[in-house]
């Protein structure tokens, strides 16, 4: 009887751990998952300022402006219908040019500026999120079909 008892306890414990992990995961996901927005999404859905989101679109022609400090860059991301001003401090990725696609991780400030912590436009497919699929055009077979796991 005891053996059965212990076995059941273990099984239930395992299930509790599993469900607990699932709950913790759902809770954290609700808080921490970055939703992907295009500039028109931002106009439509108006995400809360300060919440981490991901912005994707094209860098508008002629919009890249370097600040005096040499490390901050301002530019406008558009998707054909809406525009979003972005500020980023850091080294821009190689592919970052006017007219190119870009995905930025960051937050909206209360005055509507998107402050990016990270720009993704790197050539390596493993670090290009899927959303960029439609925008990036640098992949080829030798790059895409590689092994980095």
Residues in region 21-80 near other proteins by CB under 8 A: 21-22, 24-29, 31-36, 52, 54, 58, 66, 69-71, 80
Q: Smallest gap, in angstroms, from Cβ of residue 27 to other proteins?
A: 8
| Pick 70 or 111: Cβ nearer other proteins | 70
| Pick 46 or 143: Cβ nearer other proteins | 143
Pick out residues in 89-128 that bind other proteins (CB under 8 A). 89-92, 94, 97, 99-101, 105, 122-128
Dig out the tokens for 55 from the structure: 């912005």
Q: Smallest gap, in angstroms, from Cβ of residue 50 to other proteins?
A: 13
Which CA distances in Å does 107 have to 25, 67, 86, 91, 110?
22, 20, 10, 18, 10
Judge whether 78 and 60 are in contact, CB under 8 Å: yes
The Cα 22–Cα 74 span in angstroms is 40
| Pick 111 or 141: Cβ nearer other proteins | 141
Q: Smallest gap, in angstroms, from Cβ of residue 85 to other proteins?
A: 20
| Pick 111 or 142: Cβ nearer other proteins | 142
Q: What is the DSSP string of 44-98?
A: HH-PPTTSEEEEEEEEPTT--EE-TTSSEEEEEEE-SS-EEEEEEESPPPTT--T
Is the four-CA dihedral 38, 42, 43, 44 of positive or negative sign? Answer: positive
Pick out residues in 128-147 that bind other proteins (CB under 8 A). 128-147
Q: Smallest gap, in angstroms, from Cβ of residue 21 to other proteins?
A: 4
The Cα 69–Cα 21 span in angstroms is 46
Count interface residues toward other proteins (CB under 8 A): 74
| Pick 49 or 71: Cβ nearer other proteins | 71
């Amino acid at each position: 009887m005891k053996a059965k008892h212990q076995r059941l306890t273990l099984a239930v414990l395992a299930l509790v751990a599993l469900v607990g992990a699932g709950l913790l995961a759902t809770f954290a996901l609700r808080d921490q998952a970055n939703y992907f927005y295009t500039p028109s999404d931002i106009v439509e859905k108006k995400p809360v300022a300060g919440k981490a989101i991901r912005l994707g679109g094209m860098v508008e022609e002629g919009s890249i402006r370097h600040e005096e400090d040499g490390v901050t860059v301002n530019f406008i991301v558009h998707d054909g219908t809406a525009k979003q001003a972005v500020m980023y401090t850091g080294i821009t990725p190689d592919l970052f040019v006017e007219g190119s696609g870009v995905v930025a991780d960051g937050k909206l400030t209360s005055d509507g500026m998107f402050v990016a912590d990270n720009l993704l436009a790197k050539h390596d497919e493993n670090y290009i999120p899927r959303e960029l699929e439609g925008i990036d055009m640098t992949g080829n077979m030798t790059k895409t079909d590689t092994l980095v796991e």
